[in-house]
Chains A and B, each alone.
Chain A
Amino acid sequence: MALNYFQPLFEVIRDKDRCIKCQACARQCSNEVHKYDAELDMMISDSQTCVDCQRCVTICPTRALKITENNNQFRTNANWSQQTMTEVYRQAESGGVLLSSMGNPKPYPVYWDKILLNASQVTNPPIDPLREPMESRVFLGKKPRNVSFNEDGSVNTKVTPTLELSTPIMFSAMSYGSISRNAHESLARAATELGIYYNTGEGGLHKDFYQYGPNTIVQVASGRFGVFKDYLETGAAIEIKMGQGAKPGIGGHLPGQKILEDVSRTRMIPMGTDAISPAPHHDIYSIEDLRQLVYSLKEATEYKKPVIVKIAAVHNVAAIASGIARSGADIIAIDGYRGGTGAAPTRIRDNVGIPIELALASVDQRLRDEGIRNEVSVVVAGSIRSSSDVVKAIALGADAVYIGTAALLALGCHLCRTCHTGKCNWGIATQRDDLVKRLNPEIGYKRLVNLVHAWDHEIKEMMGGMGINSIEALRGNRLMLRGIGLTDKELEILGIQHAGQ
C-alpha cells in the first residue's frame, strides 16, 4: 500500500476540562474533523482534514478549542520548504495541477505598507470631518475635456453616462456559483443601502436580485454566462472581464458539481455541466476588437450605461491601459496580483502579475502623459485591506477601489483559502444548502454596511488631516505620499519622494 505523505497542516487542540461534549463542533465542521465517540464518551478530532477556518473555535460555547499550525517539521532546508516538498508529493500522487483559493499569500513586498501619508501642521490647517462638510462622493466614467454653456447659462456639454458612488469603494466581481446566494444577497443589499455598487462576476444575475439592478455592475466574460438583453439592461454598468489579478492569462472553471439548480438557472446552463470561461475572449485579439465588444454592448443598451474593462495588472499594464482608454471604455478596472479568487492554479496565483500599487502608478502616469486621463476612470483592486490603502490608492491616481476579500471577511471569512473545495463552513464559498443558511443576509449586509461606513469615516479623517475636504483634491495628489524603505527605482515608478524629503 502506498504511504500517505501528507502530514496535517494544523493541529486541533481541545481543552478536555472545558469541553462539555455538546458536539457543536462535529455538527458544524463540513470537513468532518470532529467526531463524538460514544464508547469512549469523548470528542475526538482528526486534524488531517482541518483547514483552519476557525468555525469550530468560534462556535464552541466553552472556548475549549483552538487550532494551531502543526509543528511537526521536515528537516529544515532554506531551499526546500516543507510546503514546496508537500506540493511535490501532491503532484506525484495525483498528476494534477495544484489548485488554490483567495489571494497570493507569498511574502512579496506590500507597497501600501511602505507608503506614508501626510498631515497638515501649522499651515493649511487640518479639517475635522465631524464638524465640517467633507466630500467623498465620486463619479466614474469619462469626463468632458471642456465645458460649454448656452446663452441662458445652462450647461451645453454632453456628458456620457457615469456611476455615482457615495464613497470610492465598490464590491469586486464574485460570481453566484463561486459564492453563495446569501453572500450575493448581502453584497447587493449593502451596495444599495450604501449608494455604491456590487458586481455579479460572470455567473449571471439571479432573478431575485434584479431589484438591486441600479446598484449592480453586470459582468460579461469570455464564457458569456447568463448574458442576455435583460441582464445587460438591468445593470447600472457593464464590465467586460479580460483578466483577473489572481490568475492573469487564464480563464475560469466552475466544476459541474457546483452547478446546482439555482446556479444553473442563473448561468443559463444545464445542471452538473462544467462552466468553462476560456482564457481569451475569442473575438478579441487587439484593441480594435475590444472596441468592437465595447460598442456592441453600448449599442445593445442604447449608450445608457458606462462600460468597464477589467484587466489583471501585468508587466506592460500601462500600454494596455492606454489602449483600453482609446477603445471607448468608460472605466478601467485593474486587479493586482494579490487579488482573491474562488479557485486558481497555485503556480499562476503565486507567480504571475505585478503589485497593484506599481501598476496603478504607472497607468495613471501614462494616461496623464498621453493627455487621455479624463477619457477613463481608474478603479483598482487586489488587494485593498483598509481605509488607508484606499486613501493611498486615490493619492496614487485611482478614482475608486474594488474590495473583495475585505468584504468576505466582513461576512465571516477567515481566509482558510479552501474556497475551491465548496465546503465553506461560513456559508460564503459554497452551494450546500446546510452551509449557505449559516450566512444570514440580514446580518451579513449590515456588517458590510458597517465596514464601508467605518472606512468612509476614516477616509474623511485622513483627508481632513491633510487639509483636504474633497476626494477630487486627493486624486493623483502624490505630494501627500512618501515612501519608506524603498529603492530609487521603486520611488520613481510610484512617482513619490522618500520620507524625509
Chain B
Amino acid sequence: MVINANEVGYFDLNKKIVECPDEDITVTNAMGQRYIGCGVAGKKITVEGTPGNALGAYLDGSRIIVHGNGQDAIGDTMNNGEIIIHGSCGDTTGYAMRSGKIFVKGNAGYRVGIHMKEYHEYFPKIVIGGKVGDFLGEYQAGGIIVVLGIGYEDECPVGSFVGTGMHGGYIFIRSEHEPKGLPVQVCCEKATDEDKKKIAEYVEEFSVNFGYNSEELLSGNFYKLTPNTASPYKQLYTHN
C-alpha cells in the first residue's frame, strides 16, 4: 500500500501505517514526520523523502528503507529489525539499540551508537558508509559499529572523543589514519584478518544495499576499538 504523506501530520501518518493491514508499505513525500515505524513489528516500510526524528524508535522487527536522508534519533532503543538509509542521517543514530541493523550510505552526526548494548542473541550492528561526528560509540556497552569512511580516505572519518565511557562491544574504523584523542577507557589497534571476520558479513550486506564492492572495502586498513578493562569504573569509588 502506498501512503502519501504530503501535508499529513505525524499522528495521522503513523496511525495509517500501524492500522494498514499490508506488510509492505510505501510512504511517499515524507517531509519530516516524526516517529515513522515507532515500535512497529513485522512490516516493510519504504520511505520516499525525508522522515523526521525518531524514525524506527523501539523498532521491533520491521524493515525500514529510506530513499533520502534521515534525521536525529533513528532507531532509538530499537529492539530488532533493520533500517537502511540511502543518504545521510543525524545525531544519536541507534541510541541504546539492543539488536538489529542500521545501514547508512552517507554520513552520520554526533553520538552515533551511543549506549548500544547487547544481550545473548541480541546484538546490534551499525554500518556507516561515510564519516561521523564526535562521541561515536559513547558509553557503548555492546554490539558493533563500523565506519567505512568512503570518500574520506585522506582523513580519519570519526570526530573526537570516540568511545568515551565505552564498556563493551567493538568499533571498527576503515582508515589509514588512527583516531586521535581517544579516552583512556578505549584500546585502539589495527584490525587483523581474524578481527575483520567479525564485520565481513555486515560490510557485505552494506555493499549489497548500496552497490559497493565488499572485498575492496574489507581489504583496507581498519582500526579496532575495544574497552580496555572489564569494569573500568570500579576503582572510582570508596565506601563511606
A binds B: yes
Q: Which residues of A contact B (CB under 8 A)?
A: 87, 90-91, 93-100, 220, 222-225, 227-229, 232, 253, 255-256, 264-265, 268-270, 272-276, 278, 282-283, 292, 295-296, 299-302, 345-346, 418, 420-421
A300 to B76 CA separation, bound complex (whole angstroms): 12
Residues 104 to 152 of chain B near chain A (Cβ within 8 Å): 111, 114-115, 117-120, 122, 138-139, 141-142
Which DSSP category, helix, strand, loop or mixed, fits chain A's interface?
mixed
**Which residues does chain A contribute within 8 Å of B239, judged by CB atoms?**
90, 99, 418, 420-421
A292 to B71 CA separation, bound complex (whole angstroms): 13
Chain A, residue nearest B164 (CB): A278
A278 to B98 CA separation, bound complex (whole angstroms): 17
Known contacts A229-B39, A276-B233, A421-B239: A296-B34 contact under CB 8 Å: yes
A35 to B91 CA separation, bound complex (whole angstroms): 58
**Which residues does chain A contribute within 8 Å of B10, judged by CB atoms?**
299
Whether A292 and B238, one on each chain, are in contact in the complex, defined by CB atoms closer than 8 angstroms, is no
Whether A299 and B141, one on each chain, are in contact in the complex, defined by CB atoms closer than 8 angstroms, is no
A301 to B14 CA separation, bound complex (whole angstroms): 12
A89 to B: closest C-beta gap in Å:
10
A272 to B240 CA separation, bound complex (whole angstroms): 23
Offer 25 A-B interface pairs, CB within 8 angstroms, sorted by A.
A94-B238, A97-B236, A98-B240, A99-B238, A224-B77, A224-B95, A227-B77, A228-B98, A229-B41, A265-B119, A268-B117, A269-B117, A270-B120, A272-B231, A273-B230, A274-B234, A276-B139, A282-B95, A282-B111, A283-B73, A296-B35, A296-B57, A300-B35, A301-B39, A420-B237
Which of B34, B35, B39, B240 has its CB near the most chain A CB atoms (within 10 A)? B240
Whether B95 and A99, one on each chain, are in contact in the complex, defined by CB atoms closer than 8 angstroms, is no
Whether A300 and B58, one on each chain, are in contact in the complex, defined by CB atoms closer than 8 angstroms, is yes
Whether A228 and B167, one on each chain, are in contact in the complex, defined by CB atoms closer than 8 angstroms, is no
Whether, in the assembled complex, B18 has its beta carbon less than 8 Å from a beta carbon of chain A, the answer is yes
Known contacts A224-B115, A274-B231, A282-B95: A99-B240 contact under CB 8 Å: yes
Chain B, residue nearest A253 (CB): B233
Whether A292 and B236, one on each chain, are in contact in the complex, defined by CB atoms closer than 8 angstroms, is no
A227 to B34 CA separation, bound complex (whole angstroms): 20
Whether B238 and A90, one on each chain, are in contact in the complex, defined by CB atoms closer than 8 angstroms, is yes
A100 to B72 CA separation, bound complex (whole angstroms): 37
Residues 37 to 78 of chain B near chain A (Cβ within 8 Å): 38-39, 41, 53-54, 57-58, 60, 72-73, 76-77
B114 to A: closest C-beta gap in Å:
5
A53 to B: closest C-beta gap in Å:
14
B162 to A: closest C-beta gap in Å:
15
Chain A, residue nearest B235 (CB): A96
Whether, in the assembled complex, B79 has its beta carbon less than 8 Å from a beta carbon of chain A, the answer is yes
A346 to B239 CA separation, bound complex (whole angstroms): 9
A125 to B14 CA separation, bound complex (whole angstroms): 55
**Which residues does chain B contribute within 8 Å of A99, judged by CB atoms?**
237-240
A235 to B76 CA separation, bound complex (whole angstroms): 19
Whether A295 and B95, one on each chain, are in contact in the complex, defined by CB atoms closer than 8 angstroms, is no
Whether B240 and A273, one on each chain, are in contact in the complex, defined by CB atoms closer than 8 angstroms, is no
Whether, in the assembled complex, B157 has its beta carbon less than 8 Å from a beta carbon of chain A, the answer is no
A227 to B39 CA separation, bound complex (whole angstroms): 11
